[in-house]
A and B are shown apart, each in its own frame.
Chain A
Amino acid sequence: MNGAGPAGEASPRYRIVVAEDAYLVREGIRQVLAQEDEVEVVEFCSDLSSLLQAVDRHDPDVVVTDIRMPPSNTDEGIRAAAALRESRPEMGVVVISQYVSPHYAIKLFEDGSARRAYLLKEHVGHRNHLMGAIREVASGGSVVDPAVVEVLVESRTRARNSPLAHLTPREREVLAGVAEGKSNAAIAKSLFLTKRAVEKNINSIFAKLDLADDTDVSRRVVASLMFLAETGAPYQGVTSQR
């Protein structure tokens, strides 16, 4: 808002709107982002409607929003992300949450995982976490907090009648490899397949899981999440960071 900074200083790469209703947490985020030259926080808001107004006013690159805010204190952050997917498909959204429930992360990615990140609030203080997520969503990628993935990995819950039920045994094996964070080449090697066959299988999986429109990276994240949510298979890392 103040225009250009002192001469010689590079203008920030990311203009950001932050929405968080808890004062102390908001101040924490302010301090964390103040350390970063790359970002400029153009406005702090504390509820859903002021967030959407601020977005209209500033057209930021990335929105960092609390999941639970007034007016209803439920899942405003996820609803904001869904609304912005419609109105500003190029905008990145980082949802910060106190919930470790995979349900919310999966819900955030329901309409597509590109430019979306789900972070636990207590990890926001760690510079690399928040900045990493901001960079990732700004460049079209996805991030899921490792703690959420851990819940899925440790859980031994399986669901019958899931979309995964439509996968062939071979496709499940391939998807398990994806969820383990393996590259296509590594999967091909472990399953004694050609790299071409693995790619074919992966495309078929994405089609069956209705993930045809996203970027490859975010598709791999979501497919892995779904796989984990419904099989509880062991897994090392879902966050895809380039």
Chain B
Amino acid sequence: MTPRAPVPEDSSIVLDEPAALDEPAAVDAVPWTLSARELRADREVERQLRPVRLAAGRPTATELTIAVAAVAAAAVSAAVVLRGGIAASPAGLAFVLALYVLVCVVAGLAWRRARPWSPYGLALVAYGLVASLYSLGATTQPLVHSLGVLLEIPGSFFVLWLVLSFPSARLDGAGRAALGLAGAVLLVGCLPAIFLLDSLSPTQPLARCGAACPSNPLQVVDNASLARTFGHVDAVGHAVVYGLILTLLAVRFARASRPRRRLLGPVYLFSALLFVATGVYQVAVNLLGASPDATGPAGFGLTAATILFPFGFIAAIVFAYAYVGAALASMVREIGVSSSVTGVEHVVRQVLDDPKAQLAFWLPRSRRYVDRHGRGVVLDEEATSTWRSVERSDGEPMLAIVHDPALDEDPELMEAVGAETMLALENRRLQQDLLDSIAALRASRKRLVAVAAAERRKIERDLHDSAQQMLIAIRIQLELVRGEVGPASRLERQLNRIGTDLDRALDELRSVAHGIYPPLLAEEGLAAALTEAARRTPIPVVLELEEVGRLPEEIETAVYYCCLEALQNAAKHGGPDVAVTMRLWWEPHLLRFSVSDDGVGFVPGENREPTGLTNMLDRLGAIGGRISIRSAPRRGTDVDGAVTVSP
């Protein structure tokens, strides 16, 4: 058995370095290069670029002003606490209060930067700055002291509002009810106590009056036992209100979509800590007589929860950024793998963590959006928080991502995912365009080859049926005339000469007609036609032709001419002692052929870069086949081809 070559990977003329030739397989490998003109345009664009403002960029003047104000407020409040001197632990309070002010302002600045449209940032900044006034509760002037303590009332309401309206800065019905209930507790517990107590003490354990608080200038009636009763009402009321609010937060969290939970999580967690600690402290100190100091467990818990509270807002922002980074990374990875529209939508759902997210594609001609099945998608202009359109750089919409309303709070994520999605789909479209144009090119090449083959057949028929028949008729007539003239006469000699010329003309015509199109190929198929071609070649040919049966005309023609070309090349250039082996065989769904000679060979790319080789590549390429031509000096030439034949 003769060794058989492996299927060529793609069409190529090979010596040592394989050179990929005009096959779609090679198109993938084409590097994206820019022409000189494109490079110039690129540089021009670069010159016009302005620095991009990053989320982590340098602080603006407003931010600096706010920061300076916050530092000043923190310093002043610390100084006031230290100078006031009545707090249980002036140094501790000064440190904690300054830290609280700074953390609140920093959280506000972070929010303002990440979500400039949200009132949250400024609300947090304002809260931080106002919180510095809590220091007044540590002073000895009675009125100032009482005002400082009473500031806790609007302060605690502000905290409730921050938590209940998070993250939209709008209160829903339940939120308003919770705030109303807190107001009621204030009216029936806290306010009456204020007018009955002879002195007011701050709630925070660290801020409690060390020795005696200054007298309460707001005291109307001095009734200590009544004041205690109202104090109890206030404590119980607080516990109830915080319990309800905790329940409300739990319910909200449980009902939230996954994208929203990402945002709610840190804020709700730290708020819950604060509310629990406050409630526990109130109940423990007022009802159970526990130590109100920061050193006791209840006092320590409340102090810690208070400091932690503003960190929840910072955590929410940090998590959001971290999530965008992780989402983008996984998106780039996943989209590389699955570039189908369905695949892209799947990846978008995964990274947004929104299983109902949907891609809507803009149809510029009919000016509407459709989903991936082509069904129309109506985007509600009123509910812009549920979708986000992605536009190309020229402002033309390309697609929209229909998403959970919570994701509207995650603009970095939506922007990044939108851009990445557009990129993936645009790439896919470009790739599809490329494949389409390659397919169109191949189809037209196939048509051209088919037309050429049909034309050749027609010419061959014409030659056989007219010119050749006429010459044959004349040859017969000549023979008849020759029979009439006397033998060995001068006329007979002339007629003989004409006969010889006619025979030569007939041979010539036969060979031309066969070269144009071998009738055997159309009538009997590849094996017969190749056998005939080998017989007409003057060099020794060994045939190993499997009877491959009849195949589509374009395949038979392409393979025939490829083999013929290789055979003629071997005869013409292979040297005086060249011998050829020609094979034709089946592999599953694959027609294989090879023409191998033991001739002088050639160096691909050098001296005779034979047009015949290009012809072979063209012919095989037109029917989607592959061919490899290997040669080296003194080592002969191997032509190996493969054509996929659908069953």
Contact = CB atoms under 8 A, between A and B. Distances in A.
A73 interface: yes
B535 A122 contact: no
The list of the 5 closest CB pairs from A to B, nearest first, reads: A125-B479, A24-B473, A28-B476, A125-B476, A22-B469
Contacts of B541: 156-158
Contacts, number: 105
A102 interface: yes
A74 B519 contact: yes
A60 to B, nearest CB: 21
Given A98-B468, A156-B538, A27 B524 contact: no
Given A103-B532, A157-B531, A121 B540 contact: no
Interface in A24-68: 24-25, 27-29, 31-32, 35, 68
A127 B531 contact: no
B479 A121 contact: no
Given A31-B480, A158-B542, A125 B475 contact: yes
A74 B460 CA distance: 12
B228 interface: no
Given A22-B473, A103-B532, A160 B544 contact: yes
Interface string A217-242: 00000000000000010000000000
Contacts of A24: 469-470, 472-474
Interface in A1-40: 22, 24-25, 27-29, 31-32, 35
B543 A160 contact: yes
Given A103-B520, A159-B543, A160-B544, A73 B465 contact: yes
B543 A75 contact: no
Nearest to A156: B540
A117 interface: no
B510 interface: yes
20 contacts: A22-B473, A24-B472, A24-B473, A24-B474, A28-B480, A32-B479, A73-B461, A75-B523, A98-B469, A100-B510, A103-B528, A121-B472, A124-B472, A125-B477, A125-B478, A125-B479, A151-B535, A156-B540, A157-B531, A157-B542
A87 interface: no
B482 to A, nearest CB: 8
A126 interface: yes
B539 interface: yes
Contacts of B472: 22, 24-25, 28, 98, 121-122, 124
B483 interface: yes
B537 interface: yes
Given A24-B469, A28-B473, A125-B476, 15 more contacts: A22-B469, A24-B472, A31-B480, A35-B480, A99-B519, A101-B532, A103-B531, A125-B477, A125-B478, A127-B483, A152-B535, A157-B537, A157-B542, A158-B542, A232-B540
A28 B465 contact: no
Q: Which DSSP category, helix, strand, loop or mixed, fits chain B's interface? A: helix
Of listed B480, B528, B540, B545, residue having the most chain A CB within 10 A: B480
A25 B473 contact: yes
A102 B535 contact: yes
Contacts of B110: none
A152 B536 CA distance: 9
Contact of B479 (A27, A126, A160): A126
Contacts of B519: 74, 99
A28 B464 contact: no
A215 to B, nearest CB: 28
A29 B480 CA distance: 10
Interface in A140-161: 151-152, 155-161
Contacts of A232: 540
A152 B531 CA distance: 11
B534 interface: yes
A170 B475 CA distance: 44
B523 A158 contact: no
Interface in B475-499: 475-480, 483
A221 B546 CA distance: 26
B543 A158 contact: yes
Interface in A194-208: none
Contacts of B542: 157-160
Nearest to B478: A125
B524 A157 contact: no
Nearest to A122: B475
A222 B540 CA distance: 23
A124 B545 CA distance: 35
Nearest to B540: A156
A99 to B, nearest CB: 7
Of listed A22, A35, A75, A157, residue having the most chain B CB within 10 A: A157
B506 interface: yes
A78 to B, nearest CB: 10
Contacts of A151: 535-536
B260 to A, nearest CB: 76
A107 B483 CA distance: 33
B503 interface: yes
Interface in B536-569: 536-545
Contacts of B536: 151, 155
A68 B465 CA distance: 9
A151 B533 CA distance: 12
Contacts of B483: 35, 127
B435 to A, nearest CB: 41
Given A99-B519, A122-B503, A161-B544, A29 B464 contact: no
Interface string B449-476: 0000000000001001100111111111
Nearest to B532: A101
Contacts of A73: 461, 465
A156 B541 CA distance: 6
A25 B480 contact: no
A73 B534 CA distance: 24
Given A24-B469, A98-B464, A125-B475, A157 B480 contact: no
Contacts of B477: 28, 31, 125
B108 to A, nearest CB: 90
A159 to B, nearest CB: 4
Contacts of A156: 538-541
Contact of B524 (A100, A102, A103): A103
A81 to B, nearest CB: 16
Contacts of A35: 480, 483
B454 to A, nearest CB: 15
Contacts of A125: 475-480
A159 B476 CA distance: 36
A213 B455 CA distance: 45
Interface string A113-140: 0000000011011110000000000000
A164 B535 CA distance: 18
B459 to A, nearest CB: 14
A122 B476 contact: yes
A157 B540 contact: yes
